[in-house]
Amino acid sequence: MHQKTLHEMLFALLLCLACLLPEVTMDQKTKEVYCRFNTTILLMGTNLNASSVFNVEWRTQLKGREKVSILTYSPGSNNIYINESYRKRVVFSHTSFSLTIHYVTLSDEGIYTLTIQLLNKQQQIDRTRVTVIIPILNVQITSETSAPHQGKNITLNCLGTAGNAMSYSWQKCNQPLPIGNRTILSKENASLTLINIQQSDIGTYRCVAQNALSSGHKDFILQLCAETGVSSWRSCGIYGYPGYLGYAIVLFYIFSLVKRTRKSSSKDQSDTIYENIALENTPTTSKRVPPVCIRHIKK
């Protein structure tokens, strides 16, 4: 009975000790840091008293590469080692152990680890994931047409230039684009296809491109090509301007004009024929001379 409680007490003591072991502190969350390309990044150190620290090491695991030691420092001996390939562009604080890296490039992306070994054999590990961001310069939308015919499909392709790690989203008339049967987004949202375009699809479509440090947008005004468009000879000649009614009116006008002219000319003709016969006595000339001219002569 006594022995059992002793065991339990020992077990509880072991658990408590486990809380103090370094493995527990290793489980800290990885911090996320976004850094603009070609700028300076500050990787935070610690607020531990340097006199309690035995050794400090900054390491990095660059994307898809081996772990690399950037620097090691022992406060006790004031010894510092900085990797040759970092020497020119890093600044290390001997008090807070922060690390400053200048002229950050895309190849600096990765996880940076600060390991602090204390004199009492504990250690503290801090991880920071560094993502390097190139700001978006501008956004473009390309499409085969800006005014498709009703019932056709249209695809708008969006492209943010210069930037990296971009994501795209779409709006219509400043509202999030309602995704329905006739609206299809590509896998990464970079292109938007509208199927079977209707009158209700007319409007301003906006592509928003953004990454962690910048964003940009471009508008596209969708119009419908008018049904009576003059884009092809067929629509122009048969369905197009001036249309069936227009042609009917024009034809009617021409017919009535011809009719009227004939009527008046036949009236004149009878007079002139008579005159002509009287004057020249040559029936052939009367046929050749237009009635209008003869009427003029008559005056």
Ligand X SMILES: *[C@@H]1O[C@H](CO)[C@@H](O)[C@H](O)[C@H]1NC(C)=O
Minimal distance in Å, beta carbon 167 to ligand X? 4
Choices 22-30, 130-138, 162-170, 205-213; region in contact with ligand X by CB under 6 A: 162-170
- Closest to ligand X by CB, 203 vs 265, is 203
Single residue of 74, 157, 169, 215 touching ligand X by CB under 6 A: 169
Tell me if 285 contacts ligand X by CB under 6 A.
Answer: no
Q: Read out DSSP for the chain?
A: -HHHHHHHHHHHHHHHHHHHSHHHHHTPPPEEEEEETTS-EEE----S-GGGEEEEEEEEEETTS-EEEEEEEETTTTEEEE-TTTTTTEEE-TTT--EEE-S--GGG-EEEEEEEEETTS-EEEEEEEEEEEPPP-EEEEE-S-SSPPTT--EEEEEEEES--S-EEEEEETTEEPP--TTEEE-TTS-EEEE-S--GGG-EEEEEEEEETTEEEEEEEEE-PPPTT--SSHHIIIIISTTHHHHHHHHHHHHHHHHHHHHHHHHHHHHHHHHHHHHHT--HHHHHHS-HHHHHHHH-
Among 29, 174, 175, 180, binds ligand X (CB under 6 A): 180
Pick 108 or 126: Cβ nearer ligand X: 108
Nearer Cβ to ligand X (57/126): 57
CB count, 10 Å around CB of 160?
A: 26
* Residue range at the interface with ligand X (CB under 6 A); choices 114-122, 167-175, 236-244, 274-282: 167-175
> What is the Cα–Cα distance from 33 to 50, expressed in whole angstroms?
25
Q: Which residues pair with 67 in a beta bridge?
A: 61
Q: Could you tell me the smallest distance in angstroms from the CB atom of residue 83 to ligand X?
A: 4
Residue 25 or 167: which CB sits closer to ligand X? 167
CB closer to ligand X, 49 vs 266: 49
Assess 189 for contact with ligand X (CB under 6 A).
yes
Site string for ligand X, 70-89 (x = CB under 6 A): -------------x-x----
- Residues 195-254 binding ligand X (CB under 6 A) are 195
Distance CA(95)–CA(47), nearest Å, equals 9
126 alpha carbon, distance to own chain's centre: 36
**For ligand X, the closer CB: 136 or 177:** 177
Rule CB under 6 A: choose which of 111, 134, 147, 185 binds ligand X.
185
Binding segment for ligand X among 118-126, 180-188, 214-222, 237-245 (CB under 6 A)? 180-188
- Minimal distance, residue 185 CB to ligand X, in Å: 6
Measured from the CB atom, the residue of 49 and 231 that comes closer to ligand X is: 49
User: Which residues ranging from 34 to 53 are in contact with ligand X (CB under 6 A)?
Assistant: 38, 49, 51
Tell me if 188 contacts ligand X by CB under 6 A. Answer: yes
Q: What does the binding site for ligand X look like in residue numbers (CB under 6 A)?
A: 38, 49, 51, 68-69, 83, 85, 103, 152-153, 167, 169-170, 177, 180-181, 185, 188-189, 195
